[in-house]
A and B are shown apart, each in its own frame.
Chain A
Amino acid sequence: AQSVTQPDIHITVSEGASLELRCNYSYGATPYLFWYVQSPGQGLQLLLKYFSGDTLVQGIKGFEAEFKRSQSSFNLRKPSVHWSDAAEYFCAVVPGAQKLVFGQGTRLTINP
């Protein structure tokens, strides 16, 4: 069965520091991959997506992610975080027909 693993439940970084959130997936073929962000009490907002082609994808709010087929990973990165980036981040895979399978999420805390 398709699955997504986000190994880090909670990450704390200082404002201005770089960020990397890990995501590993289990899927038989090359999946469609997504990163969503959820602020407290809010719905999910799409940060970026990978369908095919260039393995480094750019998203909104200065985020980027790199697809590595050999490692079954799709890690999210940002060079310098801002206090407003504090939120819950979800990696997701689409195994077919627009059905998303989500990871458990990584909660990001920003220290001033």
Chain B
Amino acid sequence: DAGVTQSPTHLIKTRGQQVTLRCSPKSGHDTVSWYQQALGQGPQFIFQYYEEEERQRGNFPDRFSGHQFPNYSSELNVNALLLGDSALYLCASSSGTDTGELFFGEGSRLTVL
């Protein structure tokens, strides 16, 4: 049973560019959440997708957008990259009926130069 998989694992971008990160949830899960973890910090909630709709959103600007596909996989897009967007981006999956247990992928490390 594959867990949560994310791609790419590492990437480097320059300021102003755009990036797309991808996530495949754990088998049987229908909800995908994205978190940003800056160096030395705890993860911060970006948004959550369920039934191809954004269900919740954290305190992140509109430059951060997402999408969920019919197979429950998800993408995180960040436009107009800033140096401060450098972080580990974590995807977590869960079942819509669960009480909150999330399963995390290993993350995508984004460096913005």
Residues of chain A at the chain B interface (Cβ within 8 Å) = 4, 32, 34, 36, 41-46, 49, 51, 90, 92, 94, 97-105
Contact = CB atoms under 8 A, between A and B. Distances in A.
Given A98-B33, A98-B94, A98-B98, A44 B104 contact: yes
B25 interface: no
B48 A101 contact: no
A105 B42 contact: yes
A105 B107 CA distance: 17
B81 interface: no
15 contacts: A4-B42, A41-B106, A44-B43, A44-B90, A44-B92, A45-B104, A46-B103, A94-B100, A97-B48, A98-B31, A98-B102, A99-B45, A101-B45, A102-B42, A105-B41
Q: Chain B contact residues (Cβ within 8 angstroms of A): what range? A: 20 to 34
B102 A100 contact: yes
By secondary structure, the A interface counts as: strand
B79 to A, nearest CB: 23
B41 A100 contact: no
Nearest to B42: A102
Contacts of A44: 43, 90, 92, 104
A98 B95 CA distance: 9
Given A32-B99, A32-B100, A98 B105 contact: no
Contact of B105 (A34, A43, A104): A43
Contacts of B104: 36, 43-45
